[in-house]
Amino acid sequence: MVKVVVAGGGWSGCAAALSAAKAGAQVMMLERTDMLLGTGLVGGIYRNNGRFTAAEEAIAMGGGDLFVAMDANARHRGVNFPGHNHASFYDVSTMEPLVKKVLQHYGITIRMKTRIADIVKYGRKIQALVVDSGEVVDGDVFIDATGTSGPMGNCLKYGNGCAMCILRCPSFGPRVSITAKAQVKEIMGQKADGSYGAMSGSCKLNKDSLSGDLRQRLETEGVVVLSVPSNLARNSTLGKKACSQYAIAEYATNLVLIDTGHAKLMTSYFPLEDLRTIPGLENARYEDPYSGGVGNSVRYLGMAPCDNTLKVESLENLFCAGEKAAIIVGHTEAVITGLLAGNNAVRHCLDMKYLELPRALATGDFIAFAHDQMATKDGLRLRYTFSGSVYFERMKATLLYSTDRAEIGERVARTGLTDVYNRCLV
C-alpha cells in the first residue's frame, strides 16, 4: 500500500490528497487549524479570466471534483468586474464542510488541529513528520502544502503586524514549512521595491454592517464599484499587494466590493475611519482579517525550489503544491498544482515516470513559466495567476486563453491526458 501524507489542508493540500487518493494511495492529510481550505476560507473568486481555462483543463484531465464542488456552491456566476470577466464566486461561509465531505468520500483520513513542527529525515529521504505533540507520522511520500502565509513574526517584520486573519496563528501555532525543516533553502518572493513578502490583496467586510441598500445591490449583482473620494486614493499601496491582477489603477480610485458571503473588498487594508466616510459604509466593520483597517497577512516567504513535476529539489520523496510550489496566487492555481503533486507522489512510490504537464496546456505552461521567471531577479518581484497580470497577458498572446469547453477538452485530448487523474495507478 502506498502511503501519502499531505501537510496542510488549504486548497492545494485538498487537491493533492484527492488526486493521490484517486490514483489509489492511502492518504492522510494534516491541518493545523480546525478548518480546511486555508486562505480559501476567505477568497472565493474563481473562473475569472484565464482561471476558467485552467479549471476546464483540470476537469478534462479528471481532476474536476473540487471545481464541481465550487460550482455547486457558487453565489454568483458569469460576473464581470474591472479587469475581470466571467467570474464565479463561491460562498466562503459554506464551502469548507462541502470539501471535507468530498475528501472523506474518497476515504482520505483528515486530521484537524494537527500541526507539523518538525520532520525526520534520513539522507535525501523524509521518513516521517513530527506533530507538535511529539507524535510521529510516517509515510512513503510527503506533500508540502503548508502555504506561505504568516506566521505572526513575518507579518510583523514584512507587513503591518498580525491583523488576525483566518489562519489564526495565536490559536493554532505558527505555519511550519516541511521543506525548510528538511533544510532545503527556500525562495523568498519580493515586493516591487525588493523587500521580502507581499501583503494579501483583499479584506472582507461584514455584510450586515453595510447599508441596506448597498447590501441589496451587492447580493443581486454580485459586484458593486464605489468611487473612492480623491483625498483617500491610494496609489502607493499597489506595489505591495500579493495580487498583481488587482494592482491596476482602477483599483486605486475605486473600491470594488464582491459578494462571496462576506463583502470582499479588493484592497489589502483600508483604515476604518476613512472607509466609514464612504456612503453605504458608515457602519462598516471587518470580518477578515479582523483588523483589516490596519493590515493583512504577508505571504510568499518561503517557496520550495522544485521542478515542473513539483518534486522538491534535493529530496527524493517530497512534493509541493500551491503557494509552496511557486509565487502563484489563487485557489485555481492551488488546485491544479495540488492535483499534479498528488499524482506524482503516487508515481514516486511505484517507480513510474513523473507527470509533467505539457506547455500546450495553459496549466502546464503556467507552472513552467512561473518557474522560469522565478529564476530571474525581476521575476521574483511578480506574482503569477491565470486571472491577470503577466501570465494572463501571456495566455492571451499565446492563444492558451479559451472559454470554449469543447475546445479545451480537445486540447487536453491531443496531449493524451484526458482523465489522467481518474486513473488508479496502484
Partner 1 sequence: MNRRLTASCIDINTPYCPCLLAETNHCVFCSHLRGQPVCDCNWGGVCILYEKQWQPKNVMAKNGGGPSRTDELGRIVRREPLGKDTYLLEVAVTEELARGLEKTGAFVFLRRPEDPQFFHFPVGVMKVEGRNLQMVVEAVGPKSNRVLEDQAAELLVRGPYYNGVLGQPWIDNITCGKILLISGGMGQAPALPIAAKLAANRNEVTAILAPGHVGSVFIEAELVGLGVKTHVVDSLRRTGFALVTGRLGDGAEKPDLIVSAGPDEQHYGVINAMQAAGLNLPMAATNNSTMCCGEGICGSCTRETQDNRIIRTCKVQTDFTQLL
Ligand X SMILES: Cc1cc2nc3c(=O)[nH]c(=O)nc-3n(C[C@H](O)[C@H](O)[C@H](O)COP(=O)(O)OP(=O)(O)OC[C@H]3O[C@@H](n4cnc5c(N)ncnc54)[C@H](O)[C@@H]3O)c2cc1C
Binding site for ligand X (CB under 6 A): 7-13, 30-33, 38-40, 42-46, 115-116, 145-147, 149, 167, 175-176, 200, 202, 297, 322-324, 329-332, 334
Closest of 202, 196, 212, 213 to residue 270, by C-alpha:
202
Q: Locate 330 and state its grid cell.
A: 489563487
Please say which residue, 200 or 309, places its beta carbon nearer to ligand X. Answer: 200
Closest of 421, 425, 415 to residue 67, by C-alpha:
421
Helices (H) and strands (E) in the chain, counts: 14, 20
Q: Locate 135 and state its grid cell.
A: 507524535
List the one residue from 24, 161, 358, 409 that touches partner 1 (CB under 8 A).
Answer: 161
Partners of 130 in the β-ladder: 118, 136
Please say which residue, 297 or 343, places its beta carbon nearer to partner 1. Answer: 297
By CB under 8 A, tell whether 244 contacts partner 1: no
By CB under 8 A, tell whether 150 contacts partner 1: yes
Please say which residue, 125 or 168, places its beta carbon nearer to ligand X. Answer: 168
Partner interacting with residue 154 (select from partner 1, ligand X, none; CB below 5-8 Å by kind): partner 1
Cα-to-chain-centroid distance, residue 305: 18
- Give the shortest CB-89-to-ligand X separation in angstroms: 8
Please say which residue, 43 or 379, places its beta carbon nearer to ligand X. Answer: 43
Measured CA angle at 343 (ends 342, 347), to 5 deg:
120
Q: Which segments within 74-195 are labelled E, that is strand?
A: 74-81, 84-90, 109-111, 116-122, 125-131, 136-138, 141-144, 187-188
Distance CA 193, CA 214 (A): 37
Please say which residue, 390 or 425, places its beta carbon nearer to ligand X. Answer: 390
Q: Locate 184 and state its grid cell.
A: 532545503
By CB under 8 A, tell whether 132 contacts partner 1: yes
Is the separation of the CB atoms in 321 and 337 below 8 Å?
Answer: yes
Partner interacting with residue 153 (select from ligand X, partner 1, none; CB below 5-8 Å by kind): partner 1
Q: Locate 173 and state its grid cell.
A: 501555532
List the one residue from 157, 185, 414, 423 that touches partner 1 (CB under 8 A).
Answer: 157
Rg (CA), the chain: 20
Residue whose cell numbers read 483600508: 270
Please say which residue, 174 or 409, places its beta carbon nearer to partner 1. Answer: 174
List the one residue from 122, 133, 353, 377 that touches partner 1 (CB under 8 A).
Answer: 133
CA torsion through residues 262, 268, 273, 278, sign: negative
Restricted to residues 332-391, the positions that interact with partner 1 (CB under 8 A) are none
List the one residue from 98, 102, 120, 180 that touches partner 1 (CB under 8 A).
Answer: 180
- Give the shortest CB-29-to-ligand X separation in angstroms: 9
236 Cβ contact partners less than 8 Å away, ≥ 6 residues apart: none
- Give the shortest CB-212-to-ligand X separation in angstroms: 25
Please say which residue, 12 or 19, places its beta carbon nearer to ligand X. Answer: 12
Please say which residue, 317 or 337, places its beta carbon nearer to ligand X. Answer: 337
- Give the shortest CB-180-to-partner 1 separation in angstroms: 7
The residues binding partner 1 (CB under 8 A) are 117, 132-134, 150-154, 156-157, 161-162, 169-170, 173-175, 180, 188, 196, 301-302
